[in-house]
Amino acid sequence: MWGRHREAFSMYKRMPSRDHSTLVDDVEENSALLQNSMDVGTTNPSWLLSFPHVVVATISSLLFGYHLGVVNEPLESISIDLGFRGNTLAEGLVVSTCLGGAFIGSLFSGWIADSAGRRRAFQLCALPMIIGAATSATTRTLAGMLIGRFLVGTGIGIGPPVASLYLAEVSPASLRGTYGSFIQIATCLGLMGALFIGIPVREIAGWWRICFWVSTVPAGILAFAMIFCAESPHWLYKKGRSAEAEAEFERLLGGSHVKYAMLELSKLDRGDEADTVKLSELLRGRHFRVVYIGSTLFALQQLSGINAVFYFSSSVFKSARVPSDVANALIGVANLTGSIVAMLLMDKLGRKLLLLWSFFGMTMSMVLQVAAANSYVSGSGSLYLSVGGMLMFVLTFALGAGPVPGLLLPEIFLNRIRAKAMAFCMSVHWVINFFVGLLFLRLLEQLGPQLLYSIFASVCMMAVIFVKKNVMETKGKSLQEIEIALLPPE
Determine the pLDDT at residue 418: 84
In which band, very low, low, confident or very high, does the pLDDT at 461 lie, cut at 50, 70 and 90? very high
Determine the pLDDT at residue 18: 39
Nearest Cα to 201, choosing from 332, 72, 330? 72
Q: What is the pLDDT of residues 298-316, one digit of tens each?
A: 999 989 988 777 665 666 6
Q: What is the pLDDT of residues 26-60, one digit of tens each?
A: 444 444 444 444 444 457 788 888 999 999 999 99
Separation between Cα atoms, residue 320 and residue 387, nearest integer Å: 8
Asked if 129 contacts 63 with a C-beta cutoff of 8 angstroms, the reply is yes
Determine the pLDDT at residue 31: 46
1, 67, 195 from 206: Cα distances, Å: 66, 18, 16
pLDDT mean over 178-191 = 89
Which residue type, as a one-letter code, is found at position 461?
M
Neighbours of 272 (CB within 10 A): 8
Determine the pLDDT at residue 54: 94
Per the model's pLDDT, the better-predicted residue between 185 and 435 turns out to be 185
Separation between Cα atoms, residue 194 and residue 448, nearest integer Å: 32
Q: Which of 10-19, 226-235, 428-437 has the lowest mean pLDDT?
A: 10-19
The domains found in the chain, sorted by start residue, are: 47-230 (1.20.1250.20), 277-489 (1.20.1250.20)
Sequence-distant contacts of 354-358: CB under 8 A, at least 24 apart: 354/399, 354/400, 354/404, 355/400, 355/401, 355/404, 355/408, 355/463, 355/467, 355/471, 356/400, 356/464, 356/467, 356/468, 357/396, 357/399, 357/400, 358/396, 358/397, 358/399, 358/400, 358/401, 358/402, 358/404
* Burial (CB count <10 Å: 0-12, 13-18, 19+), residue 431: middle
Estimate the crossing angle of helix 418-447 against helix 404-412, to 10 degrees: 150
Average pLDDT value for the chain: 81
Determine the pLDDT at residue 413: 82
**∠210-216-217 over CA atoms, to 5°?**
100
Q: What is the pLDDT of residues 352-379, one digit of tens each?
A: 999 999 999 999 998 888 887 775 656 6
**What length does the chain have?**
490
CB-side neighbour CA atoms (13 Å) of 128? 24
Query: Would you state the torsion angle of the CA atoms of residues 376, 380, 381, 384, taken in this order, to the nearest 10 degrees?
Result: 140
**pLDDT for 260 beyond 80:** yes
Separation between Cα atoms, residue 177 and residue 341, nearest integer Å: 12
Separation between Cα atoms, residue 133 and residue 70, nearest integer Å: 10
Separation between Cα atoms, residue 200 and residue 194, nearest integer Å: 12
